[in-house]
Structure 1
Amino acid sequence: MGTSSSPTPFTRRTVLRTAGAGAGALALADLLAACGIKGGGAASGDTLKIGFVSPQTGALASFASSDSFVVKTISALTSKGFTAGGSTKQLQIVVKDTQSSPTRASDVTRQLITQDKVDLVVASGTPDTTNPVADACEAAGIPNITTIAPWEAWFFGRNGKDGVGFEYSTLFFFGMQQFGECFFPMWEKVGADGKDVACLWPDDTDANAFRNGLGPAMKKDGYTPIDGGKYNDGASDFTGQIAKFTAAKADLFTCTPIPPDFQTYWKQAAQQGFRPKLATVAKVMLFPSEAEALGTLSNNIATDIWWSPGHPYRSTLDGSSAAKLADAFAASAGKQWTQALGSVYSLFEIAIEAFKQASDPRDRKDVADKLKKMSITGMSGPLDFTKGPQPGVAIQHPVGGQWRPGKTFPWDITIVDNSANTAVPLQGDLQPTFA
């Protein structure tokens, strides 16, 4: 894969000049704090503000490792402004860190609304981020788009009314049906002994969506979920769950813990001899840092892949391919691509398109309506918020990938099953996690 040039570097001089011109002003905490610049205040008549909330620190920080790059890239692409409401508008992005806390996610979102006076909010990174952000925006009447949270956990976890949806909130990602369409074909192909599936599901909004949604789907497809039992996030001893899985002789494994807990669990499982033929994990092992932390224990762990350099998608802002975006990130940050790179990029694609489509980009109801009626094909592929499964939800279709030793970086994803999305090319054959 070739390496494309990265966006223009943001030096102290360029940031100060951009902020002074009111074009593409950045409020990214780590960048602007170093330059002595603070975000906030009411936007001028020709500037639209987007608030961006994500877990940049804490247990969920791996979900936000590419956020800084995306904000810089979007700001550079929109530095000359764009037409919305019949005139040229500039874009300002104000970034807030949840510190992986749902309570702080609510607090910083309210700050964006009441203090920074943003016109729209975007957020990413599990229901611990998306749900409190969307709730705060819904209460204040602020249009918002979120991603990387199973739609059931986002919709029903916020008491969404079936067939009605929310007035200001939208989400793109996927749900239990799509997880099944991604995982079940791999379970079938690997030739497991029996159909017992060890399930490590904690007691939180995300995991309970799997317990109540994927569990019944597994049974319908002939599989038997072996639920290890509810536990609180931050657990340090998984001996009980491992013993239960071992006793059941489960040859398949799936889970939805927070990343640090999976690291603890997987190491303990290896020490205690639980070696399932195939591990298909969710919420964890989505990013290279997690694979690096486990080392050789990462080999052939499978997970859902909704975005990669191999996906045949392009930006609505400049036509760049997924591969080019991944290369630009590597050249700029010196790090490996992550799935969140494409998702966060699309948050801004969709937000900007909603501004463009609205008669008045400052009319919150108009912008929210455009979001709910949005049909767009961009960096995350085709997204149609009108098709459901609930109003304001657009579905992606993940493929199956496995972690294997990489060439440029220590570990890389190989796409091994595209049953759910044949537009994504295969890169290798499915292999057992443990033979």
Structure 2
Amino acid sequence: MASNSGFERRSVLKGMAAIGAASLGGMAPALAATDTIKIGLVMPKTGPLAFFTEHIPFVLDQVKATYGGQVKSGGKSYAYEIIVRDSQSNPNRAAEVTQDLILNEGVSLIATFATPETVNPVSDQCELNGIPCVSNDAPLEPYFFGRHGDPKKGFDYTYHFFFSGDELVKALLPYWKKLDTNGLVGGLWPNDGDGLAQSKGFPPIIEGAGFKVTDPGRFDMPASNYNSQIGAFKSAGCEIVTGVVPPPEFTTFWNGCAQQGYQPKSVYMGKALEFPMAIAPLGERANGLTTEVWWSSNSPFSSSMTGQSSMQLAQAYEKASGRQWSQPLGFRHSLFEVVFDVLKRAEDPMDTESVKTALAATDLDTIVGHVNFGTGPLPNCSLTPLVIGQWSKGTKYPYDIVIVDNTNFPSIPTGGDPFAIPYS
């Protein structure tokens, strides 16, 4: 998408207002100038992706404690307001509430997170309307190519930081090679943004490393059962399973494995196994399950917003919430590190063009690592570190994530060695 002038972008916004008034119940865009910076936050507060939002109240309290309701930019203090909208874990709803924030609330910047089903429709609406957007918690490829991004051009207003699918599969390979398996891998990839990206990108890399992939094909969710996929993996003798489904779907799959007597040695499942809340109901059958680790309490990074180390952030969350830390905590925190860094650097934080310019120039050390949208590997994107962990029986909590392979990021310490799932 070619760059447009601020005048052209404002014209698009006004044009969208006329279109959006009918679909939003006659609402008109909020164009009146104020001294309050409005920040939109779109997230799946309800629905199957709600696991991703549990840290938001704690993080917003941190923001309030740090800034006290004021942000300084260009020698001037501005009040700010964070307006939260629930996507209901639905891409269409995500687009609708984003349009509402743009046309009715007059936001200067929108932040979003939690899988391509949330991030992509929000980013698309922002790009269309010339509103800066920063996001994380969706792999880079489904974020960029799922939005029909052109690597030669990139986007104008939308920026994203997280790990990439290519980085993920290359992190899994050395971990799998440390396990005693037959090298046969079953792929559980649904018919959604993540599933389509992984089913296309993973098999060539996995097989190029000497493994063999069995792929039963795409499927829609929710699924009443996974008997056909389990049967295919079992028949092929797959001792490794990799895939990407939400927690409720994994529970259905994992229960089906038990019913059919299928006992793979290693199971990695994106989306489903990052969270203690999703692991706890599995009981003894959680032991040994594999997760990618985007952030942990042992990550060697600190916050630009509060100065906390990763361990201090995790401990503060546990004390305030009474719940176990989980990986999204670091990324919820880092999202607001970037948001307020951008607003502080913008020449005029009330002007979307100024905010966009500051967002594009982000160069910040955060609690999840360094964020710089000029580093790629795709335009408008910044890659963050990734290692591999397994759930193991804990002391304070029933299960803890133990980092078992850090081949690609040795600065992130391991806490144990890879082990096959115990079925006793």
TM-score normalized by the length of structure 1: 0.88
Which whole-Å CA distance do the structure 2 matches of 1:93 and 1:407 have between them? 38
Secondary structure in 1 matching 2:382 = strand
Which whole-Å CA distance do the structure 2 matches of 1:379 and 1:397 have between them? 11
Per the TM alignment, residue 49 of structure 1 is displaced from its structure 2 partner at its CA by 1.6
Paired residues of 1:169 and 1:392 also in contact (CA < 8 A): yes
Secondary structure in 1 matching 2:178 = helix
Where do 1:3-402 residues align within 5 Å?
A: 45-79=34-68, 81-193=70-182, 195-402=183-390
1:430 paired to 2:418? yes
Per the TM alignment, residue 370 of structure 1 is displaced from its structure 2 partner at its CA by 2.3
Paired residues of 1:82 and 1:90 also in contact (CA < 8 A): yes
Range 88-97 or range 207-216, more displaced: 88-97
Q: Deviations over 1:312-334 (max 9, x none)?
A: 11111121111111111111111
Paired residues of 1:233 and 1:258 also in contact (CA < 8 A): no
Per the TM alignment, residue 41 of structure 1 is displaced from its structure 2 partner at its CA by 7.2
Per the TM alignment, residue 128 of structure 1 is displaced from its structure 2 partner at its CA by 0.7
Secondary structure in 2 matching 1:190 = coil
- Name which of 398, 404, 423 aligns with 1:416: 404
Residue type matched to 2:403 in 1?
Answer: I
Residue type matched to 2:134 in 1?
Answer: I
Paired residues of 1:197 and 1:252 also in contact (CA < 8 A): yes
Q: Deviations over 1:299-345 (max 9, x none)?
A: 11011001111101111112111111111111111111121111011
Which whole-Å CA distance do the structure 2 matches of 1:375 and 1:255 have between them? 33
- Post-superposition, which runs of at least 4 consecutive aligned residues in structure 1 deviate over 3 A? 40-46
Paired residues of 1:373 and 1:392 also in contact (CA < 8 A): no
Which whole-Å CA distance do the structure 1 matches of 2:76 and 2:194 have between them? 42
Secondary structure in 2 matching 1:115 = helix
Per the TM alignment, residue 277 of structure 1 is displaced from its structure 2 partner at its CA by 1.2
The verdict on how the C-alpha distance between 1:126 and 1:157 changes in structure 2, with shifts beyond 3 A counting, is same
Secondary structure in 1 matching 2:347 = coil
Q: Deviations over 1:228-273 (max 9, x none)?
A: 2211010011111111101110111101112211110011112211
Give the match for residue 23 of structure 1. Answer: none
- Contiguous gaps of at least 5 residues in structure 2: 1-28
Residue type matched to 1:176 in 2?
Answer: G
Which whole-Å CA distance do the structure 1 matches of 2:297 and 2:422 have between them? 27
- Aligned CA RMSD, in angstroms, stands at 1.6
Which whole-Å CA distance do the structure 2 matches of 1:75 and 1:113 have between them? 23
Range 365-374 or range 183-192, more displaced: 365-374
Secondary structure in 2 matching 1:122 = strand
Which whole-Å CA distance do the structure 2 matches of 1:215 and 1:368 have between them? 37
Paired residues of 1:163 and 1:390 also in contact (CA < 8 A): no
Per the TM alignment, residue 43 of structure 1 is displaced from its structure 2 partner at its CA by 8.6
Number of residue pairs matched? Answer: 395
Secondary structure in 2 matching 1:254 = strand
Residue type matched to 2:180 in 1?
Answer: G
Which whole-Å CA distance do the structure 1 matches of 2:256 and 2:122 have between them? 35
Residue type matched to 1:184 in 2?
Answer: L
Q: Deviations over 1:336-379 (max 9, x none)?
A: 11211110111111111111222111221232232223121111
- Contiguous gaps of at least 5 residues in structure 1: 1-39
Which whole-Å CA distance do the structure 1 matches of 2:416 and 2:33 have between them? 52
Which whole-Å CA distance do the structure 1 matches of 2:79 and 2:413 have between them? 38
The verdict on how the C-alpha distance between 1:183 and 1:43 changes in structure 2, with shifts beyond 3 A counting, is farther
Residue type matched to 2:330 in 1?
Answer: G
Paired residues of 2:108 and 2:355 also in contact (CA < 8 A): no
Which whole-Å CA distance do the structure 2 matches of 1:69 and 1:240 have between them? 42
Which whole-Å CA distance do the structure 2 matches of 1:70 and 1:44 have between them? 28
Residue type matched to 2:179 in 1?
Answer: V
Residue type matched to 1:149 in 2?
Answer: A
Which whole-Å CA distance do the structure 2 matches of 1:66 and 1:80 have between them? 20
Per the TM alignment, residue 163 of structure 1 is displaced from its structure 2 partner at its CA by 2.5
Paired residues of 2:30 and 2:103 also in contact (CA < 8 A): no
Paired residues of 1:79 and 1:90 also in contact (CA < 8 A): no
